[in-house]
Structure 1
């Protein structure tokens, strides 16, 4: 019998999506599942984006340019100019989601067994992208006790080897909601310049920051033109997850040239989704102001409700819409399955994302979950109440 590749065996499964069959089974039993597990916003997509697709006059849905349409890249450039980033259209490669942009970045800068240092916990698919490229994720641990702040720069220094090609961060962070300070970004910029490696920054949540804090991009740091690679996406910014449009941004011409070859290999990004994404760039600031206020309010409600649960610990999100919560149990995977298979409160249960899949270090995060606070407020309150009652029952049983 033919066998699959070692790469296929090593490819990690999604800690978020692996529980879907259990949720589907719960639904078949008539149990309502409240989803705390996935970052699918319930905010409406801007009407201007939907209208762009609805009102098109195309007669042939043809291939587009591999790097994305010129008009779209020009408008992305203008978007960055508003954020004090001097990005040109030729610095941008449009991708099928931010995921593909990250894959292009890793493929362009690593060879087999090259290493990328990533503060953990991190977006789980970073492991998958690295595995697909034959690269190795080298984790540096950030701690819940100091809110997942940047680990000491000395910890990065210890891990840098001749195989190290990049440091990869998510800012604001998924799954932690941590927002790196200007000082932390400067430290990262200094270390990559010192060691002549890249700094990749996943900035898809850059619009969502709270408590009066501001996002600091890596390309705002002086001297980062040759070292910086930004990954961005429309998915969360405009509540357009299904559009699957993202982009890679770099002022390093060799990175863009290599990424374009990867883009050519998959032909072109989707045309209708680019039309929607281009139109979305005309969304007024009032939309973002309202969405930001809503997420900050939901964050506050989540933390207020978590205060009511005994024996737990959490990081305080400063951006994005995720929160890591440490539970007084041994195995969050088992607890998440039990919630869907065996527990309900008045016909309802909750689906959470076990956090071990957001770590590369074996054994870390086993008693943690990630909560996505993308639900309207009453559903969020009810979900945390169910979680509280479920924990009481689970601890009695196990």
Structure 2
């Protein structure tokens, strides 16, 4: 099979990952040094760059530097970064902290993780956030496949499967709520509500859950992947490509509390579409969507990124995570085929990690983009 034909299929099938940095002329050595440099900044750097903090001999946490708390979002992101980098020590430290302080063993949310904790582990909330749970499960599967299962809680694959079972079947005994709507197969914003967040939709993860979750749920996860791809089509604006932060199940923006516009959460949609296309060639619509997003931002400078309606009307309010937005727009180049595709990759390469108070969310998105654009955001198979 020719290389051209091979690349018509996703990385799951070919086990080949595109390196867009090489397409803009960067060498293997330059790319490897950049990845290590940025990892060191985020995980071992000074107080103006780091977002990871070790605790004692065997734990650590990811700090939301803007809110000074520890979130399931960040902990699961850190675990995904660590498994992609092959750093078992950091992965296990994060998972041990998560299980000790965030995991809930009683109440209607038993089996889920508290979405926010203080730095000393005290729970700020006893509610979960589904984007954390789905990233935990995927990172745990990858860890199992890369390093093998160990003693509890490092029996990674069992932990992942049990978590996904809880996410789907919670509430069947009358206590609590599942994280997915079982009828339409769409992920919820939080378990006890009936609307969604487009940036939570990870069809490329669900394709893998359909292979590795408990067998009785394989069919659900396969259907969830298709449902999420369909949902993204309806929730992203047909002209601008912008998605709202919250949306109803029919894809229309949920603006009851002001979250029906394109702002921080919604930046992740571009990344998710790029990765779904890279791994599975999920849908040709993803090419169009990536092109629309990149075209919308083509005449806008990082310093002037704002909140936008999904039709593209700007608010006065500036983006609080402009580096994260730039990073995800570059991430979309894995799906895009427009004229600016490589310009975004070059712009990202020339942009350093964010420093200062708000750096956490930006740099999580930044590091995922760095991994993906270099061909290092990989599917780790059994």
TM-score, normalisation: structure 1:
0.28
TM-score, normalisation: structure 2:
0.29
* Structure ranking higher in helix proportion: 2
Structure number with higher relative contact order (C-alpha < 8 Å, ≥ 6 residues apart): 1
* Structure ranking higher in strand proportion: 1
Which has more radius of gyration?
A: 1
